[in-house]
Chains A and B, each alone.
Chain A
Amino acid sequence: MPLLEIHDLRKRYGTVEALKGLSLSVERGEFFGLLGPNGAGKSTTINILLGLILPDSGTIRIFERDFATEQVVIRRRMNVAAAFTSLSGVLTVRENLKVYGHLYGVKKLNAKIDELLERFEITALANRKLQDLSSGQHTRVTLCKGLINDPELLLLDECTLGLDPDIAEKTRRALKEFQRERQTTILFTSHNMHEVEELCGRIAFLHKGEILRVDTTERIKRLIPQQVVEIHVRPGTDLAALQQWDSLKGEISGGATLRFVLDHPEEQLNALLRHVMQAGIYITDVQISRPTLEDVFIKVAREEI
């Protein structure tokens, strides 16, 4: 049985239909990405799963329980870390984590807090007030709060926002380790596509309140089949022979780089390279750019795919 099952979830704000019958299931231990442009319905979905927004219709089952009727019990086993939220500024980091530890009924709370502070490398901040921390430190405290009860389901909403690249990388590593150790199911939203690619096994692409596609990250990227091949040649090379070859979309830029867009790279790449070499052109470098999740994201947002 899936750990999280959403069926035909609908939410309307006035004339705006935020969710149009969203259905989704997430298995235990999955790192699942919820992607989409602004207004796609990601936050509405997350907030419904937290009980902060009431859906108009649809059912949610978490841990094989009905979320509508057993919310308090379910909430004890899940948690959230969202970048745009905060904890009490006048309380210290440890006090804040203690508050939430008590609310979630965590046993051996002090040891748990120490473990989390160490995991996110903020042990030295334990006795500092939250209002005195930088945004990056703040974000890591929010993550500690999200993990305080060893949640079976963790919702992460833009949770690495504001972290510098070094800390962001460490944070992702810490999250991955935690997820692997505890088999936590994580529902993850972010606009950082690199992060999503690195962390998520499966992704749901949302657009205008509907799921366009649910698949593995690799398969989602294949929604854009084209690959761009850049062939670098010696400056001054005579490229006349190539101009006659029109079976590929290509262009020559800067006199030393040939750029081709391959619609079917598996079949076309070999032919392209052979053709260039047969034309007596000396290749100095070849670069193949595969579509990234960001490319897919942009095309989805612009409704090009």
Chain B
Amino acid sequence: MTYKFICICYRSLDRIFDIVYWPVISLLLWGFTSTFVATTSSSTGLVEFFLGGAVLWSVFWRAQTDVGTFILEDFWSRNIYNLLASPVTPLELFSAIGLIGLLRCLLSFAFLSLLGWCLYAFNIFHIGGIAIAVFTSVLLLFGWVIGIVISALIFRYGLRIQVLAWSVGFIIQPFSCVFYLLDSMPGWVQTIAVMLPTTHVFEGLRHAIATGRLAIGPLCAALGLTTLLLVAALLFFQYALMQAKRLGLLTRFEMA
């Protein structure tokens, strides 16, 4: 399966292009915004907060959309029938997508880190290798969780809900406190936000930038929670797949 996704990536220009396109747009937008805000504010570390948020958010966004779009590509090309009739298991399918997604995330992260350093003298590696490894792990895993859940919903409800593959990230982002503090949010938002592993990553990022230390406790909890969610997402996918088979949905390619 990994061979297939590698082929798709190098055969399809848009799949190469999208490794950097949206993340770069985001980096530029937040880079200029934070530079402007920094000139009008006495707060320190604003540029780092915003750019760190933009770079790390791209990891989650990349991981989440990759799972959805790689699955959707097989629906669009009507290859899903042949794929599901083959001996490949859902775990093998998602492992391959995860592997190629990891590669794409690393490329995207490396490119943004370089660009952030070149344009804004922002070095994300200042927070330390361990911090980056923990942050990106949580974001990658949670991205896959959301991607797998969306894939499950697509198998169950068809292509009419395919827009979720791109839009769910935008729903999660405001509650993840990517660019602002958890404490600054209204109470009801905070209630939702603390349940998201992404919130703990971005809170942890700001803590690391401000203090130079990693608040390991909440991050380990977030990592543990995300791992559990990943298992739950895979079980949910398996359930949705069985439901689709029971209802005979897999052979209706349009499923719209």
Contacts and interface: CB of A to CB of B under 8 A. Distances in A.
Given A47-B248, A52-B245, A129-B11, A88 B74 contact: yes
A87 B3 contact: no
Interface string A32-58: 000000000001100100111110000
B160 interface: no
B246 A54 contact: yes
B248 A88 contact: no
Closest 7 CB pairs of A and B: A86-B78, A50-B85, A85-B81, A99-B4, A75-B87, A54-B245, A103-B86
Nearest to A74: B87
Contact of A53 (B11, B87, B251): B251
Contacts of B73: 88
Contacts of B250: 47, 52-53
A90 B8 contact: yes
Contact of A86 (B77, B84, B242, B251): B77
Given A51-B245, A87-B77, A98 B82 contact: no
Given A11-B248, A84-B253, 18 more contacts: A13-B247, A51-B245, A52-B245, A52-B250, A53-B250, A54-B245, A80-B82, A80-B85, A85-B82, A85-B253, A86-B82, A88-B4, A88-B73, A91-B7, A91-B11, A95-B7, A100-B82, A103-B88
Given A13-B248, A88-B73, A52 B87 contact: no
Interface residues on A, range: 35 or more
A115 to B, nearest CB: 20
A51 B1 CA distance: 19
Interface string A1-13: 0000000000101
Contacts of B79: 85-88
Contacts of A98: 3
Contacts of A175: none
Nearest to B242: A54
B12 interface: yes
Nearest to A80: B85
A223 to B, nearest CB: 30
A269 B1 CA distance: 64
A234 interface: no
Interface string B221-256: 000000000000000000000100111101101000
Nearest to A13: B248
B89 interface: yes
Nearest to B86: A103
B82 A145 contact: yes
Nearest to A129: B11
Nearest to A87: B79
B8 A88 contact: yes
